[in-house]
Every structure is written in C-alpha cells, then in structure tokens.
Homo-oligomer: A and B are copies of this chain.
Amino acid sequence: MKKLINQPENSLNEMLIGMAKAYPDYLTRLDNTNVLVRKNLTEQKVAVVSGGGSGHEPTHAGYIGQGMLDAAVAGDIFTSPTPDQIYEAIKAVDRGKGVLLVVKNYSGDVMNFDMAKEMAEMEGIAVEQVIVNDDVAVEDSTFTTGRRGIAGTVLIHKIAGAAAERGWDLQKVKETAEKAIKSIHSMGMALSPCIVPSAGKPNFTLAEDEVEIGTGIHGEPGTHREKIKSADEITQELFDKIQADAPIQSGDDVALMVNGMGATPLMELYIVNNKAHDLLVSLGAHIHRTFVGEFMTSIEMAGMSLTVLKLDDQLKSLLDDAADTPALKVIKK
C-alpha cells in the first residue's frame, strides 16, 4: 500500500482537520465529532444534512456552503457514520425550520440516519429524510435493499440545497428532492481497485486487460467483468443501461455528470464526455448542464460513472441557482 498517510487509524481525523484548515470561510468542525458544519448558517431556512462513509471526497463535506449542504457527517472510510454523530449535526444546523437528511441507499446509512432522526424527533426537531438510489447497475426491488446511491447524490445535494436556500418549507424541499431522485440514474465502472488504509490491500483485483462494469463506489462487485474496450464502447455500454431503465425522449432536458472515481485523469473523463454528449444529442436530448470531474470518488479507484438527470423547468432553475462550496460553485449569470 503506497499512500500519503500517517497512521491509517488517524487518516479520517487528519483529513477532517486538513479540510477545516483549507476552507475556514466555508466550514468548521463540530468539537469532538466527525461533523463539519457550514460557517455563517443562513438563518430561517431548512437545513440540509448529508453524510456517509469517508473515502468519497470531495463528497460530502466538499459540498458544504451556500446553496448546498449545511453539515456533513463523516463515517470511517467506507463505513456509515453513527447515529450520535448524525444527531449532533442535526442539532447544530437546525434553525427551527427543520432538517432534511440526504442519505444514500445503503442499509447501514439508512439505519443510522433513521436512528438519528428518531433521536432528533424526540428533541422536537422536525426531520425528513430522502434516500438516493441512482445506480441502475443494481436491480430495483422493494423486496431487497434496492439500488445503491452513487454520484447522482451530488446533484441531489445541489437541488435540495437550492430549494432550502430559496426559503421553501421542509415538506416542499423534501418533495423536490424526491422528484429529482426519481429522475436521476447513474452507472459506473472500474479499471482498478482501491485500498482502504486500515485494510492495507486492494478490495478486489482485475486483470491487466479487464474492467468491471457496474461497480459501486466502494469497489462492490458490478454486474460483470469484461475485456477492456474503447472509451466510446464503454460509455455506450453504461449509457445503454441507463437508457434501458429511464429512456431519454427527444426534446428532454437533462443534466449530465461524468464522474471520476479517483485515479482516472480528467483527460479520459473529457473523452468519455465527448461520447456521452453525442449519445444524448443523437436521442434529441438537450443538455442543460454538464459536470465533468471528481465529484464522488472511491479513494484511488480508477474508473468513472455516468449520471443522467432529467430536468423539468423547476429542476433546471434549481440547478442554475448560485452555489458556493469548496467543491462545486455555480455562479448565477
């Protein structure tokens, strides 16, 4: 394992301190917790809180700021945070207008956030929760855990955050986020594995000419492995899977995200973006906004995911609202 770390067990703590030092205008660490909280909280708005395992940086704390999150709760690497931590975050950011929790659909996250919600409700805080499940690689079923939440979650932060910043009430912020969740679909792939520092070795192996299609953001197995193909072919394959699930119609407005998993260079993401644009345009879609970069990573895994979010006028205008966070800034024109 070759990493720029000190003791593996200190990585999370040192990372959080390093973030707080990097962005003193944006965020501050809540004493004795792994919670980062927005500086200068906007009074009189619904607070938006997210969180989950670490190792997905800049997710989640990178999205703290105007128009996105008010707090982010960091679990250990690839491990959901615990209810007490989430509860501290909720208490710290509630301004009497209630708190929306944006949770990725993993059993662990869902249950820990559930418990925190119960704890906060016992204190009289209004809490609502939305569960992001954008990964079309996993079968959708109400009898199982259902689909995972992956990179699309960042756009849900954007939309929920903008809705809250507009002063909408908790119910409306929640409904808007849920509408966006229904319209967002993602699919990822990996070229190489990642190493959790405390584990010290890769979480899976791939041959030199092999890729895994449908991988999650923790190196979870995908739908299958195959010989590596061209960027265009791989992009087409992921796109087809998304399209099979949520067909794009001619005239649809969409946002497109090409997300890097950690080790894949931007150059390759732009090459993928080139093809993804062509595919959307050939279906008659109008691409309202494109996001290319590392938004939700998997430590140093190589690979990428595509996210397509169908937009109505409301979602378009929420995406266009100003955002000012360390990792995503939208400057309103």
Contacts and interface: CB of A to CB of B under 8 A. Distances in A.
A19 interface: yes
B271 A15 contact: yes
Interface residues of A, number: 60
Contacts of A11: 267, 271
Contact of A297 (B57, B77, B265, B272): B265
A319 to B, nearest CB: 13
Given A11-B271, A21-B290, 13 more contacts: A2-B192, A4-B191, A15-B271, A17-B274, A18-B271, A18-B277, A19-B270, A19-B273, A21-B277, A57-B265, A265-B297, A267-B299, A324-B331
26 contacts: A2-B211, A4-B268, A4-B269, A11-B271, A14-B270, A15-B267, A15-B270, A17-B274, A18-B270, A18-B271, A18-B273, A18-B274, A18-B292, A19-B270, A21-B274, A21-B277, A22-B270, A23-B290, A57-B270, A58-B266, A62-B266, A263-B300, A263-B302, A264-B300, A265-B297, A267-B299
A232 B6 contact: yes
Closest 9 CB pairs between A and B? A18-B270, A18-B274, A57-B266, A263-B263, A4-B268, A329-B329, A18-B273, A4-B231, A15-B270
A171 to B, nearest CB: 31
A165 interface: no
A283 interface: no
A208 interface: yes
A41 interface: no
B208 A6 contact: no
Nearest to A206: B2
Contacts of A230: 5-6
Nearest to A12: B267
Interface string A268-288: 111111100100000000010
Instruction: Give the copy number.
Output: 2
Nearest to A24: B290
Contacts of A234: 4
Interface in A44-87: 54-55, 57-58, 62, 77
A294 interface: yes
Contacts of A324: 331
A290 B24 CA distance: 9
A230 to B, nearest CB: 5
A131 interface: no
A216 interface: no
Contact of A5 (B5, B55, B268): B268
**Which interface residue of A16, A211, A272, A300 has the most chain B CB atoms within 10 A?**
A300
Contacts of A270: 14-16, 18-19, 22, 57
A257 to B, nearest CB: 10
A250 to B, nearest CB: 19
Contacts of A17: 274
A22 B263 contact: no
Nearest to A19: B270
